[in-house]
Structure 1
Amino acid sequence: MNDRALSPFDHVHRAWVIAVTSGKGGVGKTFVSANLAAALAKRGHRVLVLDADLGLANLDVVLNLYPKITLHDVFSGTASLEEAVLQAPGGFSVVLAGSGLVEYSRLTPEVREKFHSVVATLVPRYDYVLLDTGAGISDVVLYAVSLADDVLVVATPEPTSLTDAYATMKVLATQQRRRLLHLVINQVRRSGDGKLVSQQLQQVIDRFVVPQAGEPVRLVHVGDVPSDAAVQDAVRRRHLLLEALPGSAAAQGIRGIAARIEESVSTPA
């Protein structure tokens, strides 16, 4: 992992592409994507978040943005990619997708080609590109993840979330031969719970995921986001947490995750 030679993008300088994904919806994946982008931007990086949930996009809701031009306009040829790039609160850029458009919920050859073209055009311009994917293991989600250097799986401590997170990891390990997966546990109620959950998932992976060429699948726990009333308040008001309540426990958790991701990229495994 952390090998640019494995990437489908060939540039001397290009962004490190991170797919932020989850096994199921409702675990705070888009919240993590947006606030992680803000945290990385505050660390001096050029960051863009691409809404890769082509059928049920909601990054615009989290950021309280009302785009006139979306990724769907770029795909249809009615607008350029440059016109679709917006500045978000928090000092990063976004390309937003519309919601409820069935024609982009399946990975047709046309969608594959256009999605790849968009990401390839963006990566020379930024230090980090975050792909806020849909939930689950649909072909569109898996294709978006396949374009990333690293994968960040977001889960909560709930049993259904962990079961679906494991299923997603197993697919990524077997179909895409991912040997390193990053994990964030959201809505953690007690200190240490996230680490414990990560260890339990690693044990299941070690037991049931058959490694390719003898290489084990390593799960890296990069941090937790504590259960915090500030999160619900920010989401309800459609404010970025790191902007509205930067001193909250959840915001501090996000900043810690950003620091660990930055460190893992600068010192690859």
Structure 2
Amino acid sequence: MSDVLKSPPAAPFTGAKVLAVTSGKGGVGKTFVSANLAAALAKRGHRVLVLDADLGLANLDVVLNLHPKTTLHDVFTGKATLDEAIVKAPGGFSVLLAGSGMVEYSRLTPEVRDEFMDVLRSLMPRYDVVILDTGAGISDVVLFAVSLASEVLVVATPEPTSLTDAYAAIKVLATQQKRQHVRMIINQTARPGDGRAITTQLQQVLDRFVTTGSGRSVRLIHVGDIPADPSVREAVMRRQLLLVNVPGCPAALAISEVARKLDESVISPSEFGGRKTTVP
């Protein structure tokens, strides 16, 4: 495994705060969270771009009901400029979409790695926040995208398969990328407090079986629950942003609260009492 996958760059770029939204398995609402979190952060006054980092199986365009003529693939191949590929999304943020079904991007080659880093380096000065909507699992493409982020948000649901795969993904991030902390979002919770309880249980397992390079176990930071809400399914089926169309529903309010926590602790800490983004 290449060194770039083993540890996050200390300071790879300057400019935007880079957040990777990832998951152990598919179908847990990762892209839904990425898009609506972007809308919530844009509403808080930030310049936000979501980069579809699921290079082989992209579906951010489906969630946002966008039909781009130009994608990240065109930028990589020199058929279009970066400016031509950036699209305005509903919700006040920008997106850079990847083409779906691109087999050549399903594995990490030196060319893909360099092209991706060049694009990210160009984006950084333009935005306050860049959200990387990664693929699910622990493939080399997913781990590479995550390695470029200063903060990682793992999305999971209360289902046992989701939690098992989330544990596996966090273990890899702790052991190979030397992540000291990972932020958790538990989606589709049935009752208030369920997500925090799940995060605590995962932490206990990690404490027993996984240590980072420092000899300490990786720390999970619970940033929020998103309750099971029929408005979510309706928005997904209609390809609409929840934060735009039903901003007062329970799931939308929960995502707005996640955005507030991230804003205060990670994105703009100096504006909120000078709190630091590092974790003791």
Normalising by structure 2, report the TM-score: 0.92
Aligned counterpart, 1:7 = 11
Aligned counterpart, 1:59 = 60
Aligned counterpart, 2:272 = none
1:236 aligns with 2:204: no
- Tell me the SS of whatever aligns to 1:200: helix
Where do 1:60-75 residues align within 5 Å? Answer: 60-75=61-76
1:227 aligns with 2:228: yes
Q: CA RMSD in A?
A: 1.1
Aligned counterpart, 2:80 = 79
Give the Cα separation in 2 of the matches to 1:216 and 1:225.
Answer: 26
Amino acid at match of 2:12: P
CA-CA distance at 1:5 after TM superposition: 7.8
Q: Which runs of 5+ in 1 are unaligned?
A: none
Give the Cα separation in 1 of the matches to 2:26 and 2:78.
Answer: 30
- Tell me the SS of whatever aligns to 2:184: strand
Aligned counterpart, 2:198 = 197
CA-CA distance at 1:210 after TM superposition: 2.1
CA-CA distance at 1:57 after TM superposition: 0.3
Aligned counterpart, 2:20 = 19
Give the Cα separation in 1 of the matches to 2:9 and 2:139.
Answer: 26
Aligned counterpart, 2:250 = 249
Where do 1:72-221 residues align within 5 Å? Answer: 72-221=73-222
Deviations 1:88-110 (A, max 9, x none): 00000000011011001110000
Amino acid at match of 2:81: S
Amino acid at match of 1:132: D
Amino acid at match of 2:186: I
Give the Cα separation in 2 of the matches to 1:195 and 1:133.
Answer: 24
Q: Which runs of 5+ in 2 are unaligned?
A: 1-7, 270-274
CA-CA distance at 1:6 after TM superposition: 1.2
Aligned counterpart, 2:3 = none
CA-CA distance at 1:264 after TM superposition: 1.4
Question: How many corresponding residue pairs?
Answer: 263
Give the Cα separation in 2 of the matches to 1:59 and 1:5.
Answer: 26
Give the Cα separation in 2 of the matches to 1:135 and 1:222.
Answer: 20
Give the Cα separation in 2 of the matches to 1:6 and 1:211.
Answer: 16
Deviations 1:227-253 (A, max 9, x none): 000000000000000011001000000
Q: Are 2:179 and 2:212, in contact at CA under 8 Å, matched by a contact in 1?
A: no
Give the Cα separation in 1 of the matches to 2:20 and 2:215.
Answer: 25
Q: Are 2:48 and 2:130, in contact at CA under 8 Å, matched by a contact in 1?
A: yes
CA-CA distance at 1:178 after TM superposition: 0.2
Q: Are 2:21 and 2:34, in contact at CA under 8 Å, matched by a contact in 1?
A: yes
CA-CA distance at 1:212 after TM superposition: 1.6
Deviations 1:14-53 (A, max 9, x none): 1000000000000000000000000000000000000000
Q: Hey, which bits of structure 1, 4+ residues long, moved more than 2 A?
A: 213-216
